[in-house]
Structure 1
Amino acid sequence: MTEQAYLVLLALAEEPRHGYGVVQAVRVLSDGAVNLGAGTLYGILDRLVVAGYAEASGEVVVDGRLRRYYRLTESGHEALAAETARLRALARRAQRVLGASPALGGA
């Protein structure tokens, strides 16, 4: 799973969001490091919908513009939890390597 897809899932885990809301949430979640363009965002959302991790949850017209909202599915929650566990395990392995290697600033 790409970092961008992971962050989109994480943004949708908080609450259903429309496209611009997802972009803003991803920017906050990444401390400004990830800024999604519309093409990238909707490509990710399309892939998440096809995978069954997200679904459209409604549309609202605001100032004459249609906002489509997306939400995480149960499979999306499971995928997010699995990816979080994978990243946590990877970080633990990295800490062991960094802690054990004098050349990398460890003991």
Structure 2
Amino acid sequence: MDLRRGRRTGVTLSLQEPLEADGQLTLADTLPDEVNMEAGCESRADAARLRALVDALPARERAIMRQRYGFDGAPKTQQQTAQALHISRSYVSRLEKRALEYLRGRWPAE
């Protein structure tokens, strides 16, 4: 039974194993590199910084930003957010605008 299982999995290859006799080209060199690790780290750092700024907002503004921009699920419209918070849509609009101005002012300029 163990012998059959080993036959199905095949040979294990290393990404650093040379593909040519001279050893210049490895398997890792032939695979596409679609993920830019540095950009991913920057994106995660920006997302963490944005979440920290949103968490610093007053409770109602924080709830509006989380709902409107989908922090806790799918983004909601101003009307849906207003209904969930039992306030008017225009008040949601004003608070959202104030929160965005706060975030813009605290976000580092590049």
- TM-score, normalised via structure 2 length: 0.30
Structure with greater contact order relative to length (CA < 8 Å, sep ≥ 6): 1
- TM-score, normalised via structure 1 length: 0.30
Pick the structure with greater CA Rg: 2
Higher strand fraction: Structure 1 or Structure 2? 1
